[in-house]
Chains A and B, each alone.
Chain A
Amino acid sequence: MKILFDNVFGSLQKAIDTRFKRAQLIVSNIANADTPHYKPVDIDFEKVMSEFAQNSNKNITKTHYNHMDTSEFKSNSEAAGLRSDGVVMGLDGNQVDVEKEMVKLADNFSHYKALLQLTNKKLAQLRYSINEGRTHENLDGWFSSCFIRIECSKDTFKYHCQ
């Protein structure tokens, strides 16, 4: 049951969510490229994910069934990972470097797609188990899921191939 109930889906969800939020921030930076005195904002993805990884290990035990579920509050670390860095680009005090933001957006997008592929492979792996490993193509899916997981672990989050 390790495949079903490990917290990989939780990490993936958090990672995809953070990537999407980061994209929204970058897009708002690009939209404000002509706004005087605007400072670009960004999320430190690694920081958010490492805090998530730390917090998900600290499960608070409920001693009463009426206690609030803490899982919703555990990973509210976007604000902590929020940073604002930039140099003044023009005379109007705007600090947005549009080229830099576009590169960040493209980079974020490819990481996001990799995460979606991971999720798909994870689901394919699950489907493979449900089908009792009958079809040949699902076998392919399982092996490639192992491969991609190792590739992505470098800068997203640590997860070992089983």
Chain B
Amino acid sequence: MSAQRTRLNTIASNIANAQTTRTAEGGPYKRQVVVLESHPFQDHLKHVGPVTGVRVAGIYDDPSGPIWRYEPDHPDANEDGYVAYPNVNVAKEMADLIQASRSYEANISSFNVLKDMATAALEIGR
């Protein structure tokens, strides 16, 4: 769930920075992509079981180039009058946002099922 939360935060930051043309590194904001990976849990004897968790492998810049728009009045325009805008497609980000939020909900449901199972096991012999 925290991995999905990282995804949600990253997507929110992509949408918030959809129009940012100046960043600390210089140039326009670059769209961030979260890459998830599975990692096996170890039990108390360091045995690696088949049960795997998920974690964030890294947050990377989208390698695609900026979107150039002709705005000669803009202070960040180059000598040809084009401004480099971030490579963020808001519609795509919204779709990703909904997907991440659904994944988060699916994880909540599965957590609840596991929790109910553990609680039910405690009721044995009542």
Show the binding face of A for B, using Cβ within 8 Å: 16, 19-21, 23-28, 30-36, 38, 41, 78-79, 82, 98, 102, 105-106, 109, 112-113, 116, 119-120, 123
Q: By the criterion CB–CB under 8 Å, are B109 and A16 in contact?
A: no
A32 and B38 in contact, given A109-B113, A123-B125 (Cβ under 8 angstroms): yes
Cross-chain pair count, CB within 8 angstroms: 84
Q: State which of B19-27, B50-58, B61-69, B82-90 sits at the interface with chain A.
A: B50-58
Q: By the criterion CB–CB under 8 Å, are A27 and B113 in contact?
A: yes
Q: List 27 A-B contacts (CB under 8 A).
A: A16-B121, A23-B114, A23-B117, A24-B114, A25-B50, A25-B51, A27-B111, A28-B51, A31-B3, A31-B54, A31-B107, A32-B36, A33-B103, A34-B4, A34-B36, A34-B54, A34-B99, A35-B36, A35-B38, A35-B54, A36-B35, A41-B52, A79-B50, A106-B113, A109-B117, A112-B117, A123-B125
Q: By the criterion CB–CB under 8 Å, are B120 and A116 in contact?
A: yes
A30 and B50 in contact, given A23-B117, A36-B36 (Cβ under 8 angstroms): no
Chain B: CB-nearest residue to A106: B113
- CB of B116 closer than 8 Å to a CB of A: yes
The binding surface of chain B is classed by DSSP as helix
